[in-house]
Structure 1
Amino acid sequence: MTPKLVLLAGGKGKRMGGDKPFAPYGQSTLIETTLARLRPQVREIVINAGAKTSPLVLPLSCLDAGLIFDDPAFEGLGPLSGVLSALEMARAAGDAMVITAPCDMPDLPDDMVARLLAAPPADVVYFKGARDYPLCALWRISVADPLRNALQQVEGGLAVMRFLATQNVRTIAVDDDAAFANINYPPLAPG
């Protein structure tokens, strides 16, 4: 059975001027475009909205996907707090794994999930091209406790690659880095 996918949308989006998931992209928004790209690949998508008090909770709740929130002890510590929420949701549901993707990657490959599932087993499987794409990943539930412990040890956040260096990981080669481009800045105004 295909695991759930958690779309990470809990960041502050400072470089985008805030409200990053709802930034315009094409004829839609970043998050709606990313959802449309990923929906055919999985049985269920859940959105990590970050803090329960985020002003984006209401608009995110209108996107026909469940919402999960970060543990208040780890709010604002970066994307790994969202990954931990995803892992704990999957563990509570009796799932062995969960897949994550950021809400700001609207051009992800149509076979991203299939490629993650076909990779040789590891605690974490992610994509690597000219850059690492560690949030486009399959995470086994065995990572939940080490991740929680690592987040408890740091102040101000934990770098994703620093955490992954402590885990059993595999990477999948990327032949089109443009498919993994994340949108961090608003589009330039014409003229």
Structure 2
Amino acid sequence: MTPQLVLLAGGKGKRMGGNKPFAPYGRSTLIETLIARLKPQVRGLVINAGAKESPLILPLSCLGLPLIFDAPDLIDLGPLTGVLSALEMARAAGDTQVITAPCDMPDLPEDMVAQLLAAPPADIVYFKGERDYPLCALWNVSLIAPLRTALERAEGGLAVMRFLDSQNVSTVKVSDGTAFANINHL
């Protein structure tokens, strides 16, 4: 069964002046474009909204997808808090894996999920090209305890690649890096 996919939309979007998921993109917004691209690839989409006090909760809830939130003791530690929330949601649903994607990559491959599922098995499978794209990834729920521990020990945040370097990973080769371009400026 195809895992659920969690869109990571809980960041503050400081480089864009906030409200990143709803930044205009084409005839829509970043997050709406990404939802349309990814929805056919998975059995369910969920949005990680970050903190329960986020000003984006109301607009995100209007997208008609379930929202999940980060643990209050791990707020502002970076995108891996959203990954942890995704993993905990997957485990609670009885799933063994979850896929994540950041909300600022509207041109992800139309077969992104299939590529992740076809990769050699590992605790984390992510895309790698000239750059690493570690948040476009398939995560095993066995990572909950080590990720929580790493986040609790991280002061001021935990670098994604630093965590991945300590885990069993597999990568999918990226041939077209433009599909993974992130939008950080309007």
Measured against the shorter chain, the TM-score band is over 0.9
CA RMSD of aligned residues (A): 0.4
Q: Mark the runs of 5 or more structure 2 residues left unpaired by the alignment.
A: none
Among the aligned pairs, what percent are the same residue? 76
Matches within 5 A, 1:154-173: 154-173=154-173
**1-structure distance, mates of 2:102, 2:164:** 17
**2-structure distance, mates of 1:151, 1:114:** 29
**2-structure distance, mates of 1:102, 1:31:** 9
Residue in 1 that maps onto 2:123:
123
- Aligned-partner residue type, residue 9 of structure 2: A
Structure 1 position 64, deviation (Å): 1.5
Matches within 5 A, 1:25-40: 25-40=25-40
1:77-133 residue CA offsets vs partner (Å, 9 max, x unmatched): 110000000000001111000000000000000000001011111000000011000
**Is it true that 1:66 corresponds to 2:59 in the alignment?**
no
**2-structure distance, mates of 1:184, 1:135:** 15
TM-score (norm 1): 0.97
Residue in 2 that maps onto 1:7:
7
Matched residue SS, 2:33: helix
Q: How many residues align?
A: 186
TM-score (norm 2): 0.99
Matched residue SS, 1:11: coil
- Aligned-partner residue type, residue 65 of structure 1: L
Residue in 2 that maps onto 1:107:
107
Matched residue SS, 1:38: helix
Structure 1 position 65, deviation (Å): 0.8
Residue in 2 that maps onto 1:189:
none
1:58-86 residue CA offsets vs partner (Å, 9 max, x unmatched): 00001121000000011111100000000
**1-structure distance, mates of 2:5, 2:73:** 23
Residue in 2 that maps onto 1:53:
53
**1-structure distance, mates of 2:152, 2:77:** 10
**1-structure distance, mates of 2:22, 2:124:** 29
Q: Mark the runs of 5 or more structure 1 residues left unpaired by the alignment.
A: 187-191
Moved over 4 A (4+): none
